[in-house]
């Protein structure tokens, strides 16, 4: 038996919701092809699209490691599978690249095992993959990659994940400036302590964003998407971040911020045309300052 599974890129944090909010986009994403073998254990026979950056060693690859955790949990260490991983999105982009692969792998093994429990039961295994990838098992990429749409991680201990609605007609423009920002390092530079005034601003914004999602109020969503805790520090790792924000807002975006730990940035817009204008202009600017980029436009 064999199966091919696609899992999408995700935008984590959604500006004000560090580690607690994320959403999935239509493209890009990764594909895992998994097939049962006669020899117990996991092999990775092929990885494409990674420029040789990802390990074929199953003990070092986040996909196989999470699949192994899953197989251990259901007492099926007798099972043999071979994995092909087709990366169809850039690595280290802040678009949940490792999450997309891990989630595709977990969904594949769950299906091959005939396991009909809800996909959300895979979350803890996917979080193990994140922990391996960047030193911290956050769920704001893996949960939306697995469940689709907008997701809130209400609590990590115990894990409590809530799917949120979002207004129809919300578009997302994504630009990945091709510079290196490893998540592990982007987490290390964040302040550990915050002051009360900033906390008040931040939780007002998170509540505003979630209210806007329920009320289908795109303007409320837009004005709530401000981050006084993480963005001021991480924006330094992104070329011309504030200039790009100004450009996006002038072009009619309702919000602009860092996707996950960066360097990708994203903007919400009210239609496709504006989203395409934003990606085109930002790409043009990045080219002008000598930085290559990839762009994506998606509904949510
Ligand atoms: N919430 C995580 C972070 C997402 O910002 O570090 C990583 O993509």
Q: Per-residue confidence of the chain (300 residues) as pLDDT tens digits?
A: 999 999 999 999 999 999 999 999 999 999 999 999 999 999 999 999 999 999 999 999 999 999 999 999 999 999 999 999 999 999 999 999 999 999 999 999 999 999 999 999 999 999 999 998 888 889 999 999 999 999 999 999 999 999 999 999 999 999 999 998 888 889 999 999 999 999 999 999 999 999 999 999 999 999 999 999 999 999 999 999 999 999 999 999 999 999 999 999 999 999 999 999 999 999 999 999 999 999 999 998
Q: State whether the beta carbon of 64 lies less than 6 angstroms from ligand 1.
A: no
pLDDT tens per residue across span 131-182: 988 888 899 999 999 999 999 999 999 999 999 999 999 999 999 999 988 8
d(CA 249, CA 173): 12
> Is 92 close to ligand 1, i.e. is its CB under 6 Å away?
no
Cβ-contact 177, 239 below 8 angstroms: yes
Q: Is 149 annotated as a binding residue?
A: no
Q: Relative to the CA of 230, which ligand 1 atom is closest?
A: 5
Enzyme catalytic residues: 130, 183
Question: Distance from the CA of 23 to the center of ligand 1, in angstroms?
Answer: 12
Report ipTM (2 d.p.).
0.98
140 lines ligand 1 (CB under 6 A): yes
Q: Do residues 15 and 22 touch, judged by C-beta distance below 8 A?
A: no
Is there a binding annotation on residue 261?
Answer: no
Tokens of 283: 């790409």
- Helix%, strand%, coil% for the chain, nearest 5: 40, 25, 35
281 contacts 247 by C-beta, under 8 angstroms: yes
Q: Is any atom of ligand 1 closer than 6 Å to the C-beta of 22?
A: no
How do residues 158-170 score in pLDDT, each as one tens digit? 999 999 999 999 9
- 253 within 8 A of 268, measured Cβ to Cβ: yes
- Residue 91 marked in a binding site: yes
Beta strands, E only, 179-275: 255-258, 265-269
Which pTM value belongs to this model?
0.96
> What is the number of alpha carbons within 13 Å of residue 128 lying toward its C-beta?
19
Relative to the CA of 136, which ligand 1 atom is closest? 6
């Amino acid at each position: 038996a064999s199966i091919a599974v696609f899992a999408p890129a995700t935008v984590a944090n959604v500006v004000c919701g560090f580690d607690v909010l994320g959403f999935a986009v239509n493209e890009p994403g990764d594909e895992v092809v998994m097939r049962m073998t006669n020899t117990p254990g996991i092999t990775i026979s092929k990885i494409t699209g990674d420029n040789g950056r990802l390990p074929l060693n199953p003990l070092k690859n986040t996909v196989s490691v999470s699949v192994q955790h899953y197989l251990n949990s259901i007492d099926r260490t007798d099972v043999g599978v071979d994995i092909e991983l087709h990366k169809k999105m850039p690595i280290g982009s802040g678009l949940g690249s490792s999450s997309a692969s891990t989630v595709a792998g977990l969904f594949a093994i769950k299906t091959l095992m005939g396991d009909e429990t809800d996909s959300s039961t895979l979350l803890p295994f996917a979080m193990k993959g994140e922990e391996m990838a960047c030193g911290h098992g956050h769920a704001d990429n893996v949960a939306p990659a697995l469940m689709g749409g907008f997701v809130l991680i209400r609590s990590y201990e115990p894990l409590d994940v809530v799917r949120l609605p979002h207004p129809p007609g919300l578009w997302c423009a994504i630009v990945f400036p091709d510079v290196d920002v490893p998540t592990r390092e982007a987490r290390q530079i964040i302040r550990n302590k915050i002051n009360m005034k900033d906390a008040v601003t931040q939780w007002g914004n998170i509540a505003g964003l979630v209210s806007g999602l329920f009320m289908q109020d795109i303007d409320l969503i837009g004005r709530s998407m401000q981050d006084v805790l993480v963005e001021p520090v991480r924006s330094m790792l992104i070329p011309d971040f504030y200039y790009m924000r100004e450009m996006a807002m002038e072009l009619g975006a309702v919000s602009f911020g860092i996707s996950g730990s960066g360097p990708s940035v994203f903007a919400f817009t009210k239609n496709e045309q504006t989203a395409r204008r934003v990606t085109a202009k930002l790409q043009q600017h990045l080219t002008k300052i000598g930085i290559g980029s990839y762009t994506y436009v998606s509904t949510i």
